[in-house]
Structure 1
Amino acid sequence: MNVLQPFASTPLTDQFKIFSDLQIISAEKIEITFQISGPLDKILWPDPAIIESRQDELWKTTCLETFLGSGPQANDSYTEVNCSPNGNWNAYSFSSYREGMSPSPDITVRLKEKSTQGQNGFFKIELLSTKAIAASCVGLTAVIEFTTGEKAYWALRHPKSTADFHDKTGWKT
């Protein structure tokens, strides 16, 4: 499991550890796991979804995210996947760094497993595609909104002076 780092250390972020991992099952199927350890009652969790569906702007509150790049350069295309802990999701294609954003119609996302017990939350997300998924570099990230309204941005690395999940220098190859 990869340890995600908060962009800024705060009294709230210091109480948490977030781990994530990605497993390529096949060219058309990827599983991503997230483990959140800490006082889970301090996290603002999205309301339960009546029907899990594709939704925009999930990143505005607690959201588990994955970025899959076709290459490590800023001008290489990539896909952003958002999955809410309530099962709502979205996937976007980018032609290059923050350019050409459009919904990825060939990818569906499913929150396959969710469990919380004590101070541990575990989430398994499944990506399914009708074509091969490019994943030569990967960004594993999370937005955590706390009940205080504070938001924390977690990633493998934060190479810039601002939190920027789209910056591939913070991804792993």
Structure 2
Amino acid sequence: MASYELNAFDRRFQSISLVGAIEQQSPYTLNVGYWLRDPNQYILWPDMVASHPRQDFLWENTCFEIFIGVQGEDYYREINLSPSQAWQAYEFEEYRYPENMPPKVAYDIELNQLKKMHYGLNVSLDLTEFMLIHKLKWTDLFIGLTAILKTSQGDHYFAMQHSSPHADFHNKRDWLHLF
């Protein structure tokens, strides 16, 4: 398991700390955990939903995201995970393309489990179809972990690193995890 401290785009905002952990489990299962420290309870949490529905525009509220890139390829996947238990996966052919809003849904990634925990969020994703269709091995993939935290102090954008002049989670240079 590898862990990463996610940094706020606004470096002055130090009230919340966030760590993400990535683990390959079984031939096609990806587990990710987000550990959050919010001692002032600034985060605004979305209301819980009954099951794990696929929903668009989750980033309009507190949302955790996983980006899955492929070495030497332009295409990638974006997975949005809400503490409400809703989720969605999107496919992109290249940087932010196609530009549809919401983006094109990716049905080649499935959710095994999504849980809001007292410390943050835990998710298990099934990448079987995505990896088999594209003939991928774990070593072909690289991962970016991000979060949009809606707080009483405004919106804050967390990522493994921020190399753009503005918060840009689609910038592959910031997806640091390799298998």
What TM-score comes out, normalization by structure 2 length? 0.83
Which amino acid letter does the alignment assign opposite residue 9 of structure 1? R
2:171 to 162, 167, 170: 167
Q: Given the alignment of the two structures, is residue 154 of structure 1 paired with residue 152 of structure 2, yes or no? A: no
Q: Percent identity?
A: 30
Once superposed, which parts of structure 1, at least 4 consecutive aligned residues long, lie more than 4 Å away?
Answer: none
1:61 aligns with 2:65: no
Alpha carbons 1:28, 1:132 under 8 Å: kept: no
Equivalent residues in 2 for 1:9-158, closer than 5 Å: 9-10=11-12, 13-39=13-39, 41-71=41-71, 76-100=74-98, 101-116=103-118, 121-133=119-131, 136-148=141-153, 150-158=154-162
* Partner secondary structure for residue 103 of structure 1: coil
Is the Cα–Cα contact under 8 Å of residues 83 and 109 in structure 1 kept in the other structure? no
Distance apart, 1:15 and its partner CA: 1.1
CA contact (8 A) 1:81 1:89 kept: yes
Distance 1:138 1:130, change over 3 A: closer
**Helix, strand or coil at the partner of 2:41:** helix
Deviation string for 1:31-71 (max 9, x for gaps)? 11000012262110001112320000101110010000012
Segments of 5+ residues of structure 1 without an aligned counterpart are none
Deviates more, 1:31-40 or 1:123-132: 123-132
